[in-house]
């Protein structure tokens, strides 16, 4: 992962939440919230919350006595998440690095993280931090994307951009969001951080969009792909987005489009 892969700034948070969240993140947020409520929850910590899709799904299901600390490394993402959340005295918003959590040991019953672990520069260190702030017997619940070939639109976008920029294809989606999919490696990392009872559930969903342009805009303007495309020349973003939309239309049709998405959901006990 490149350092720039972590920079969700500028207009990316708004586009991410407007396009990417309904396209691929919402069904997994609902699933993660459902899994979380199976545990006894008094104090919850969310890491790498992004624009708050899990927060919006989980908060209504928590007991009135619960506390919920929501964190992200990127202040623009966290600020956007807070702006989307209804006022809730149980929720505290805090900028935090997953590798150095600013919380006392044994503070939480659950640590959750949706599609953030792929961005951790040292995953085992981040998992150790999650274990440190969990109470004994507490749960760690997180998700990562499966390989890009199992995620149709991400694969379509990557292949289309490789044709637009054959000498220097943008590889953000392969390198980072879909770069941590090996289940043996994931299990090894989580167990290496001291967790037990590690379970990995591979879950397929369907991504739906009203037109081919929507996933094109979502990926090209709502992720760090935007930064990669713009770095390849001024004025390239719109043309590249249009080409990606045409490639998706050629494969899936010009009206509503659907495609498979697939992720691993991991649970472990501290």
Domains and CATH numbers, the chain: 3-146+171-205+262-269 (3.40.50.150)
Q: What average pLDDT does this structure show over 232-248?
A: 93
Residue matched to tokens 């979502």:
218
Structure tokens at 253: 């049709």
Please report, rounded to a whole number, the percentage of residues in the chain having pLDDT higher than 90: 84
- Which pLDDT score is estimated for 15? 76
Q: Tokens representing 250? A: 């050629």
- pLDDT band for 3, please (50, 70, 90 cuts): very low
- pLDDT exceeds cutoff 80 at 6: no
Of 166, 167, 157, 248, give the one whose Cα is nearest residue 209.
248
Place of tokens 């000498």: 167
Residues ≥6 apart with Cβ < 8 Å to 171 = 158, 228
Band (pLDDT 50/70/90 cuts) for residue 252 is: very high
> What confidence tier does 126 reach under pLDDT thresholds 50, 70, 90?
very high
C-alpha–C-alpha distance, residues 16 and 147, integer Å? 21
What's the number of CA atoms in the CB half-sphere (13 Å) around residue 35?
25
Q: What average pLDDT score do residues 37-55 get?
A: 94
Who contacts 269 (Cβ-Cβ below 8 Å, separation ≥6)? 137, 138, 139, 140, 195, 196, 197
- What is the spatial distance between Cα 153 and Cα 151, in angstroms, rounded to a whole number? 6
Model confidence band, residue 12 (pLDDT cutoffs 50, 70, 90): low
Q: Output phi, psi for 209, to 5 deg.
A: -145, 150
Structure confidence at residue 76 as a pLDDT band (50, 70, 90): confident
Question: Do β-strands 134-145 and 67-72 pair in parallel, antiparallel, or remain unpaired?
Answer: unpaired
Structure tokens at 170: 């943008």
Helices (H), 24-167: 26-36, 53-58, 75-84, 123-133, 152-164
d(CA 60, CA 64): 9
How does pLDDT run across 146-180, given as a tens digit for each residue? 999 999 999 999 999 999 999 999 999 999 999 99
pLDDT band with cut points at 50, 70 and 90 for residue 243: very high
* pTM of the predicted protein model: 0.92
Residue written as token pair 């990557």: 158
């Amino acid at each position: 992962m490149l350092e720039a892969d972590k920079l969700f700034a500028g207009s990316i948070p708004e586009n991410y939440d407007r396009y990417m969240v309904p396209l691929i993140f919402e069904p997994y947020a609902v699933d993660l919230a459902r899994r979380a409520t199976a545990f006894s929850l008094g104090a919850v910590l969310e890491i790498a919350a992004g624009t708050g899709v899990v927060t919006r799904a989980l908060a209504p299901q928590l007991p009135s006595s619960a506390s919920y600390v929501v964190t992200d490394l990127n202040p623009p993402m966290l600020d956007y998440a807070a702006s989307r959340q209804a006022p809730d005295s149980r929720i505290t918003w805090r900028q935090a690095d997953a590798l150095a959590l600013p919380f006392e040991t044994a503070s939480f019953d659950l640590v959750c993280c949706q599609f953030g672990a792929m961005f951790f520069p040292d995953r085992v260190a981040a998992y150790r931090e999650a274990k440190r702030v969990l109470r004994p017997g507490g749960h760690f619940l997180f998700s990562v994307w499966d390989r890009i070939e199992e995620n149709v639109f991400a694969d379509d976008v990557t292949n289309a951009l490789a044709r637009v920029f054959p000498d220097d294809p943008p590889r953000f989606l392969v390198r980072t969001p879909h770069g941590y999919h090996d289940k043996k490696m994931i299990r090894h990392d989580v167990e290496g951080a001291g967790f037990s009872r590690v379970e990995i559930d591979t879950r397929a969903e369907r991504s739906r969009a009203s037109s081919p342009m929507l996933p094109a805009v979502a990926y090209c303007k709502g992720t760090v792909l935007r930064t990669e495309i713009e770095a390849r020349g001024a004025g390239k973003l719109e043309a590249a987005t249009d080409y990606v939309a045409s490639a998706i239309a050629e494969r899936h049709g010009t009206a509503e489009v659907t495609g498979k998405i697939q992720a691993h959901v991991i649970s472990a006990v501290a």
